[in-house]
Chains A and B, each alone.
Chain A
């Protein structure tokens, strides 16, 4: 049972345009969401997060939007750069229940072409 889903395995965008990566979840107990970026042969690195008390969080070129009623979150990268090419994972946890497990999606491979 996949509690966190990333339905697009890959996404290609041109440099300078917007990249939108999507993530859906099924567990209504999830209250904290994170995005990680992963290059080949390296561990994932934290990118940005959002708590369920917010609907938007911004950090430079990266913005995460949360729609709790739809159980959907998205990561926007504007403008996209070739160095953003990587696999992006969304993750969720239920911190208010002490649920420290991070449940990950299957990832979306982003390719930004010059």
Chain B
């Protein structure tokens, strides 16, 4: 069974803080993704990575950066958290057809 694990289920951070969201997958997948889910907007792609140290911007990269130093780990970084980044963040990994998601991190920025 593929497992995608996100480090936190719930996070509360203050405006201006630097926030790290971690994601680890155990199936040696090349492709990893960060999405955010907001009501009425579906899942929007923030960044994705197709190999170690390789990354590409998704549809809404502003205010975010990513790091992929090892194949199994893909980190999302909020450089200076803002209230409009309050959201559900979902990590996924994929090789081939199906993508597997982590359980999600509900981030609240106050």
Which A residues are within 8 Å of any B CB, using their own CB?
6, 9, 32, 34, 36, 38, 41-46, 49, 89, 91, 95, 100-107
In the assembled complex, B64 has its CB within 8 A of some CB on chain A = no
Question: Residue on B with the closest CB to A3?
Answer: B59
Q: How far apart sit A49 and B99, CA to CA, in the bound complex (Å)?
A: 11
Give the contact-size bracket for chain B.
20 to 34
Q: How far apart sit A38 and B99, CA to CA, in the bound complex (Å)?
A: 14
Assess the A107–B104 pair: CB atoms within 8 A.
no
At the interface, is chain B mostly helix, strand, loop or mixed?
strand
Which B residues are within 8 Å of any A CB, using their own CB?
4, 9, 31, 33, 35, 37, 40-45, 48, 50, 58, 90, 92, 94, 97-104, 106
Residues of the A chain whose Cβ atoms lie less than 8 Å from the Cβ of B45: 101-103
